[in-house]
């Protein structure tokens, strides 16, 4: 597991908690936490409350409290590098924000099913293995993701099925 990225997530989560946001750790870093396997995470994927229509809404308004999130990330020396992707960067680390409210329509995961975790001063949500499986199965149907992710999602699906 890449402890650096997870520790950075915890720092960001604590700062978001200070502005009344409980983030959801997604992507390979979250998968590393629940599987204890190194998935060679390229970035941090953090989902926060937003418009359930997702990309149908302008990037400036589809994440709730976006201006506050930008302020938090800037205070941690992150620079917004791509508004459309809600991507920040600092010293080679990319942090991308997504919208947790799209989970029900995307993967059939209702927000009230998310498990809350506490680590030190940080409070955050983390998917369980079954929920990760649903996310990666849904993602694998996306041709863009399959073509640009070297089909790593299929390996993740196989591992998760074996663990479940």
Q: What is the DSSP string of the chain?
A: --HHHHHHHHHHHHHHHHTT---EEEHHHHHHHHH-------SEEEEE-B-TTGGGS-TTTSBTTHHHHHHHHHHTT-EEEETTTTEEEETTEEEEEEEGGGHHHHHS--GGGPEEEEETTEEEEE--HHHHHHHHHHHHT-HHHHHHTTTHHHHHHHHHHHH-
Which residues span the domain enclosing 103?
3-128
In a domain, 135, yes or no: no
Task: Note whether residue 160 is domain-resident.
Answer: no
Q: Residue 32 pLDDT > 70, yes or no?
A: yes
Domain-embedded: residue 46: yes
Sheet holding 93-99, edge to edge: 79-82, 87-90, 93-99, 44-48, 24-26, 122-126, 115-119
Distance CA 32, CA 21 (A): 23
Whole-number pLDDT of residue 95: 98
Domain count, the chain: 1
pLDDT in tens, 87-118: 999 999 999 999 999 999 999 999 999 999 99
Residue written as tokens 């993967």?
A: 107
Which residues pair with residue 89 across a beta bridge?
79, 94
How do residues 64-89 score in pLDDT, each as one tens digit?
A: 999 999 999 999 999 999 999 999 99
Instruction: Identify whether 19 is part of a domain.
Output: yes
Is residue 141 one of the residues assigned to a domain?
no
Looking at the domain assignment, is residue 156 inside a domain?
no
Residue 48 clears pLDDT 70, i.e. is over it: yes
In whole angstroms, give the CA distance from residue 100 to residue 136.
15
Which CATH number fits the domain that encloses residue 25?
A: 3.30.460
Summarize pLDDT for 3-29 with one digit per residue, the tens.
Answer: 899 999 999 999 999 999 999 999 999
The answer to whether residue 139 scores a pLDDT higher than 70 is: yes
pTM surpassing 0.85? Answer: yes
Residue 7 placed within a domain:
yes
Q: Is residue 134 part of a domain?
A: no
């Amino acid at each position: 597991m890449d402890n650096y990225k997870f520790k950075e997530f915890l720092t960001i989560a604590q700062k978001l908690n200070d502005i009344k946001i409980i983030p959801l750790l997604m992507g390979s870093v979250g998968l590393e936490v629940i599987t204890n396997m190194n998935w060679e995470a390229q970035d941090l994927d953090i989902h926060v409350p937003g418009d359930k229509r997702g990309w149908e809404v302008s990037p400036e308004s589809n994440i709730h409290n976006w201006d506050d999130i930008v302020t938090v990330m800037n205070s941690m020396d992150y620079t917004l590098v791509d508004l459309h992707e809600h991507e920040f960067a600092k010293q080679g680390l990319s942090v991308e924000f997504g919208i947790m409210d799209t989970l029900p329509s995307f993967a059939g995961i209702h927000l009230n099913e998310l498990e809350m975790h506490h680590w030190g001063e940080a409070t955050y949500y983390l998917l369980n293995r079954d929920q990760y499986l649903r996310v990666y199965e849904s993602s694998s149907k996306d041709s863009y993701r399959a073509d640009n992710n070297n089909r790593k999602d299929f390996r993740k699906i196989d591992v998760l099925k074996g663990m479940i």
